[in-house]
A and B are shown apart, each in its own frame.
Chain A
Amino acid sequence: MTNTRGTTVILATAFAATSLLLAACGSTVNSATSSSAAAASPSTSVSGSASTSASGEASKACGKWGMAMNAWVGYTASAQVVSNVAKSLGCTITQTKLDEAATTYDAMEAGSVDVVIEDWGGGRWKEWVDRGAVKELGENGNVGLIGMFVPQWMCDKYPDISDSANLNKYAEMFKTAESGDKGAWYEGPPGYTTIGEKMVSANKLNYKVINTGSEAALIDLFTKADKNQTPVLAYWYTPQYFNAKVKLCRVNFPKSDWTDAAKASGLTDYPETTLVKLATTKLVESGDPFANLVANFKWTNADQDSVSADIEGGMTPEAAAQKWIDANPDKVKAWTGQ
C-alpha cells in the first residue's frame, strides 16, 4: 500500500492542470462577435469590450483608456455618456470607481485612469498638474452650486430664513442632542468641497458644524425633514437628481470670492462653480480620438439631470446614457466631429 494521500493530491493536481491546459485552447464564446452575447453580459466594469472588434474596424484606431467613476449620480451620467460615445468610436474604456480628488489624481498619476469628467475641486489638482501628470481640459458646461439648504417647507413658513442674517434668530429651532446649545449645521462629506467652519465664524453664527461623513447621511436628513416637517440645515449642491425628489431651499450668505484657495480667509458663501474636465498628460498628448472627445465634451445641467433622473428611475447607466445619445445626435456630433 502506497501513500494514499499522495495519490489523492496527484489526482487532484492532474485535473487542475488539465483544466488550465484546456483553458489555453480557444474559447468560442470569446471569439464570437455576437452582439446578443454582449447584451446578455451583466454590467461588468469593462464596458464596450465585447463590441470592440465589431466596430473597431470601421473607425480610426482608438486605444484603451480609463475613466474615473466618482460616486454621485450626476458624475455617473456624464461619464457614462462619454463612455458610450467613446465605445461607438471603437475605444475600450475601463471604468474604475474611485473617490474624488486626491485619490483620483493619484490613480491618474499611477496610470490606472485617464479622465475625470466632472471635477469640483477648485484647483486641488495643482500639485499633479505641476508635476506634469495631469492636464486641465476646461469646463464641461455644468455649473455647480454648493450651499447650505433647508427643506422647502421652512422657506414657506419662515420666508426670511433664506437670508443668512436671520439664521441666528432660528438657531434654537435647529438644536439637536449633537449640537448642544447651538444650532446644528450639517456639513458635507469628507471628500467634498466644504468651508462650513469658515462660514460659521465669518458670519458669526451660533451654529455647531457637524461632520456628517457621507452623502447618504445628507439625503437621510433631508428626506426625514421633508417628510416629518422637521427643521434641518445642511450642506447640499446642484446639479443633483435628489433636488427633483425633495424640494430644498438655499440659504444665501453674503457673496465672496473663493476661487483661490490661498485667499480662503473671510469666506462667507460658496460661489457658483464651473465644473471642469481633467485628463492625464499621456491621453492629451496621444492625439487619440478619445482625447478629442473628452476635450470637446460639453453639456448643460438640464442634459445631465435628464440622464441622472433616468438612472435614478431604475435604468442602467448604460441604457440611460444611450437614450440621451440617441435623442441628441447633434450634440454628440459636435463632440466627435463626425
Chain B
Amino acid sequence: MTTVRGLLSRRWVLVLIVVITWVILAAALKGVSTLELSTAADTPFTAWLRDLAASIRGNRTKSPAFLYFFNPIRLGVQGFIEPIRSVIAVPAEGDLIPLFGWLGVVALIGYIVYATSNLRTSVLSMALVFGCGVLGVWADSMDTLALTLGAVFLSLLIGFPLGVWAGLNDRVMAVIRPVLDLAQILPTLVYLAPLALVFLIGIASATIATLIYSIPICIRITAHAVRSLKAGPVEAAQSMGSTRWQLLTKVQLPMARQTLILGVNQTTLAALSFVVIAALIGAPGLGKPVIDALTIRNVGDGLTAGLAVVLLAVMLDRATTAAVLRSQSYVPVAGPALIRRRIGLIGGGIATVVAIVLSRNQLWAAVFPPQLNFGEEISAFFDTIVSWVTSTFDFLTTGLNTAFTTIMLNPLEGLLANSPWYLTITAISLVALIVGGRNVAVLSVFLMLAVVAIGLWHDTMITLSQVLLATAVVMVVGVVLGVIAGRSERAERFLKPVLDAGQTLPAFVYLVPVLALFGPTRFAAIVCGVFYAAPVVVRVVADGVKGVPSDMVEAAVASGSTTTQVITKVQLPASKKSLLLGANQGLIFVLAVIVIGGLVGAGGLGYLVLVGQSKPELTGKGLAAGLAIVLLGIMLDRIAHASAQRSDRSSS
C-alpha cells in the first residue's frame, strides 16, 4: 500500500514539475506562435476540403457514387420512414389527419404496451402520449415518434445481426470493437455536416445520423448478450450435437432474450435522444422548436417541446423496461392469469379497433381537442419562470461567471492556446507520458501534430481548455453527489428522478436558460457541459461507492474512523476504478456538449462546425473543425483510458 502511494505521489510530483515549467515558459512566450486564425480565413487543408465539398455538391446528380450508392440509400431510407410518418404524423395531401387520429394512436400505443408488458405501464404510456397533446405539440411529437420508431427498426435490422456475429466470433469483434469505441467518443455534432453533404438535408440524413448514433449501442449490447450467456446450457446443447445454427436459434438467442430486449430499450432511448440534434439536418418533429428557441429566443416553446421529448423518452423507457422485467422469467403465464390476460388482449384489441375507427370518423377523436391543448399557457408559464430566475439571480450569475472566467478559464486558455504550439504539445505529451505511458504519449503527439497540420490548433486549444475545466467541475460535483448517493439510500432515491431527467433531457433544452443566465460566454457552455455530464458521473461514482465491500467499511468504522475518514481513506480509494471510469465518461460527455456550446458563445471548434454548416464558403473549415474534434476526443479518451489502466495495474 505504501509503495503504491509512493509511486502515485512520485507520478504527481513529476506532473507538477512539468506543469510549473510549462506555466513559466508560457508566461515568457505569451502570444508567440499561437497559430491563431480568424474565422473567415482558410488554411490549405480547409481550402482543399471546401473545394472538395463544393465538387461533391456539384456531382450529386452526375457522379456514379451518388447515382448508384448514396441516392438510392437516401431514397430507400426516405421511402421507409415516410409511410410510418403517414400513419401517425403527417396527413396525406388534402387530408386533415394522418391515417390514425390522436385517439387511435393513443389506443394503439396502449395496446402494444399492454401486449408486451402490463396494464399499468400501458396506462402510463397512454397518459404520457396524451400529455404531448396537452403540451400543444401533438403533431411534432408524433413526427418525432415516427422517426424514432423507424430509426430503431432500422438500427435493430442492422445492429442485431452484426451484434450476434460479433458475439459469436472473436475475429469479427476485434474488427468491430475500434469502430464501436470511436462511435462512443464521437461528438454527435461532427458527423452531421458530412452526412448532409452526401445525403442532403432532410429525413434521410436525419435518420442515417440517428442510425450512426444508435447502431453501435445495439451492436454492443447484442454482442454482450450473446457473450455473457451461462456456459452450461450452451455446452450441453453442443454436447447433444447441435449445429451452430441450431445452437444460435434454439439456445443462445432465446436465452439472451432479456438482454436483447434491454438492447432494444437502449437503442430506442439513444435514437430518441438524437431527435433534437438531428433537427439541425432536417429531422421533422420536436427538435426544431427546441433549436428555434435558441435561434430566435423563444424559451417557452423550446422548453415545452423539450418536455414533450422527455415524456416520449419516459414512455419508451418504461414500456421497454417493463418488457425487460416481464422477460426475466422464462415461465409464461398460465392458469387464471392466462385467461385474464387473453380476455384483456381481446377486450383491449376490440377497444383499440373501436378507438381507431372513431379517430378516423369523429372530429373530436381525430384532431387533438383544442380545449385540452394547454401549449400556449405552459409555454408562457415557462417564459415567466425563466425570466424571473434570470432577473432575480442576475447579480449572482454575473459574479460567478466573471470570477470563474478570470480565475480559472482565462489562465488555462492562456496556457493552452496563447503560448507557442510546440510548447503546449511538449507539455501535454509529457503529462500523457507520465500518467499514461509511452504509447499514449506518442499517439498524443501524433494527434496534436495532425491538428496543427489541419490548421485549427488555436481553436482546438480553446475548446480543450473548456473541456478540461468542465470535466474538473463535473468530477467535483459527481464525486460529492455520488458519495452521498452511494452512502445513503434515501439520498439516492431522492436523486434518481433528477438524474433520470438529466439524462433524458436533450442538452439543447437548457442551452437557452443557461444563455439567459450567463450570456454568450464560454462559462455558459461549461455550465451546460456540467449539467449534461454530471448525471452519468454521479451514477458511476455512486455505483463505485456502493460496490465497496461492506466489511471494509465496517472494519474502518470499528477501528474508530470518522465519517470523513471512512470516505476519504476507505470508500474513495477503494472505488478508484469507478472514479477514473467516471472521469473518462465525464470527459466524453463534456466534449459532446462543449462543441454544441458554439451556439452560446463558447467559440472554438464547435462554433466553426456550426459556421461551416450554414456558410458555403466556410464548409471546409467546418469539416476540418469536425475532424479536429474527433482527434481531440480520441486523444482525451486514450489518455484517460491509459491512466486508468496504469493506476489499476499499479494498485493490483
Contact = CB atoms under 8 A, between A and B. Distances in A.
- Tell me if chains A and B make direct contact, with any CB pair below 8 A: yes
Interface of A: 1, 3-5, 7-8, 11-12, 14-16, 18-19, 22-23, 25, 27-30, 32, 34, 37-38, 40-42, 44-46, 49-50, 52-53, 64, 71-73, 92, 96-103, 105-107, 109-110, 112, 124, 127, 131, 176-178, 180, 186, 189-191, 195, 197-198, 209-221, 224, 227-228, 261, 264
A261 to B, nearest CB: 7
Contact of B611 (A49, A98, A190): A190
Contact of A211 (B115, B284, B598): B598
A50 B96 contact: yes
Contacts of A1: 334
5 contacts: A8-B115, A22-B357, A124-B615, A177-B523, A191-B614
A30 B282 contact: no
Interface in B321-375: 332-334, 338, 341-342, 345-346, 348-349, 352-353, 356-357, 360-363, 366-368, 370, 373
Given A5-B332, A27-B361, A30-B96, A73 B201 contact: no
Residue of B136, B353, B410, B520 most packed against chain A (CB within 10 A): B520
B600 interface: yes
Nearest to B376: A314
B616 interface: yes
Given A109-B60, A112-B201, A213-B610, A29 B602 contact: no
Contact of B93 (A64, A102, A210): A64
Contact of A197 (B39, B90, B292): B39
Given A97-B288, A101-B614, A190-B614, A212 B601 contact: yes
A197 B373 CA distance: 47
B96 A23 contact: no
A191 B406 contact: no
A291 B612 CA distance: 31
A219 B295 CA distance: 10
B200 A106 contact: yes
Interface in B601-634: 601-603, 607, 610-611, 613-617, 619
Contact of B363 (A40, A127, A189, A195): A40
Nearest to A216: B297
Given A97-B288, A198-B40, A211 B601 contact: yes
B200 A110 contact: yes
B338 A4 contact: yes
Contact of B520 (A4, A197, A198, A210): A210
8 tightest Cβ-Cβ pairs between the two chains A and B: A15-B349, A191-B614, A216-B297, A217-B520, A177-B405, A212-B520, A27-B360, A12-B115
B57 A220 contact: no
B294 interface: yes
B99 A213 contact: no
Contacts of B332: 3-5
A198 B41 CA distance: 10
B502 interface: no
Contacts of A105: 616
Contacts of B346: 11
A261 B57 CA distance: 20
Contact of B601 (A42, A103, A107, A217): A217
B519 interface: yes
B512 A216 contact: yes
Residue of A18, A97, A217 most packed against chain B (CB within 10 A): A217
B220 to A, nearest CB: 27
Contacts of B101: 29
Interface string B141-159: 0000000000000000000
Nearest to A34: B363
B395 to A, nearest CB: 10
Given A29-B362, A42-B370, A213 B601 contact: yes
B112 to A, nearest CB: 7
B551 to A, nearest CB: 43
A216 B367 contact: no
Q: Is the interface of B mostly helix, strand, loop or mixed?
A: helix
A259 to B, nearest CB: 15
Say which size band chain B's interface belongs to.
35 or more
B425 to A, nearest CB: 24
Contacts of A109: 57, 60, 200
A49 to B, nearest CB: 6
Contacts of B40: 195, 197-198, 264
B516 interface: yes
A273 B345 CA distance: 65
B111 interface: yes
Contacts of A98: 201, 282
Given A4-B333, A49-B94, A213-B601, A15 B111 contact: yes
Contact of B616 (A27, A49, A102, A190): A102
A190 B607 contact: yes
B202 interface: yes
B139 interface: yes
B202 A37 contact: no
A176 B401 CA distance: 10
A101 B97 contact: no
A72 B100 contact: no
A18 B373 CA distance: 30
Contacts of A99: 280, 613-614
B545 interface: no
B57 A15 contact: no
A316 to B, nearest CB: 10
A137 B100 CA distance: 40
Contacts of A131: 58
A27 B100 CA distance: 9
Contacts of B90: 45-46
Given A15-B111, A127-B616, A215 B297 contact: yes
A198 B598 CA distance: 20
Given A71-B295, A221-B520, A29 B614 contact: no
Given A27-B360, A103-B614, 4 more contacts: A12-B349, A37-B367, A45-B139, A216-B296
Contacts of B592: none
B207 to A, nearest CB: 14
Contacts of A37: 96, 363, 367
B91 interface: yes
A49 B91 contact: yes
Residue of A15, A96, A107, A131 most packed against chain B (CB within 10 A): A15
B17 to A, nearest CB: 29
A12 B323 CA distance: 15
B612 to A, nearest CB: 8
B341 A177 contact: no
B39 A29 contact: no
Contacts of B63: none
Nearest to B524: A217
A36 to B, nearest CB: 8
Contact of A102 (B96, B368, B519, B619): B619
Contacts of B603: 210-211
Given A23-B356, A190-B613, A107 B295 contact: no
A228 B402 CA distance: 17
Nearest to A76: B296
Contacts of A124: 615-617
B54 interface: yes
A106 to B, nearest CB: 5
Given A27-B97, A110-B201, A100 B614 contact: yes
